[in-house]
Amino acid sequence: MTYLHNDKPVTLHALGKMRAEGRKITMLTAYDASFAAMMDRTGVDTVLIGDSLGNVIQGHKSTLPVTLEQMAYHTECVARGCKRAFILTDMPFGSYQEGPVQAMRNAARLMAAGAQMVKIEGGEHMAETVRFLVERGIPVCAHVGLTPQSVNQLGGYRVQGRDETGAEKMKADALALEQAGAAMIVLELVPSKLAAEITASLTTMATIGIGAGPDCDGQVLVLYDMLGIFPGKPARFVKNYMDGAASIEEAIANYVTEVREGAFPTAAHGY
């Protein structure tokens, strides 16, 4: 079964063109070769090896225990199965916070494992690190809003940017990260109106929403969430794509179609 009309590998240039043309970017997490190959077949544009593996694979309560070695291992697994989609890997907690040199050393390890871009959490204070990496040939995806690696500081998994001060800071963070050279930015648990304003304010950096409403340039979900197999109450922004699907492959294909057509997320999935 194939869903693709074009099986050319997705590049950073292609993702930038999608953003410029208003075509939605699809992203899902993957941690192994089998699911990565399935995502290729169903047309997922970007596969994220997320440090969410700490939750859904390892059973931890947060992403904090995940190590660089584990991220490199899962990146290698995904890269073996993924021939078309663009591969993005999270830099785990403690692997980049000391500064640009540490970040470069550890990002290089992930790129050698098969990543084509790395993702780091944090706002304007990470701009120097982003610029350092980009100038040395490593594409960067930024991440603001709810940043899971800072869950203890944030006091839990809460929507960010609800008040005027928080919203203005997030806007400033996004602009600073774009100016530093980040090509994409994940907006997590951000009010839909604010996410739309941030998206409209940027000129080159694509916004990828998760719990950030329908107006971002693309969407991402954790694979286990959208398949309804992660225990516990699903978050408001999650849709179970196994409902009504005959197979996991069909569920993923339906997600891709709905994101591209603007049918997901709806207002009900936002804040």
pLDDT tens for 158-202 read 999 999 999 999 999 999 999 999 999 999 999 999 999 999 999
Range of the domain at 157: 12-269
What is the number of structural domains in the chain?
A: 1
Is 150 annotated as belonging to a binding site? no
Locate the DSSP E strands across 135-234: 140-145, 184-188, 206-210, 218-221
**Residue 3 confidence (pLDDT) above 80:** no
d(CA 220, CA 47) in angstroms, rounded, equals 9
pLDDT band at 157 (very low <50, low <70, confident <90, very high): confident
Q: Is 52 annotated as a binding residue?
A: yes
Classify residue 127 by burial, with Cβ atoms within 10 Å: 0-12, 13-18, 19+: buried
Q: What is the CATH number of the domain that holds 259?
A: 3.20.20.60
Is residue 119 in some structural domain?
A: yes
Q: Does residue 5 lie within any of the structural domains?
A: no
2 domain-assigned: no
225 among annotated binding-site residues = no
pLDDT in tens, 125-151: 999 999 999 999 999 999 999 999 988
- Is residue 111 assigned to a domain? yes
Contact present, 179 and 158 (Cβ < 8 Å) = no
pLDDT value at residue 4: 61
Determine, yes or no, domain membership for 251.
yes
pTM across the whole model: 0.96
Annotated catalytic residue 188 = yes
Instruction: Pick the catalytic residue from 188, 249, 258, 261.
Output: 188
pLDDT single digits (tens) 102-120: 999 999 999 999 999 999 9
- Residue 215 is labelled as binding a ligand: no
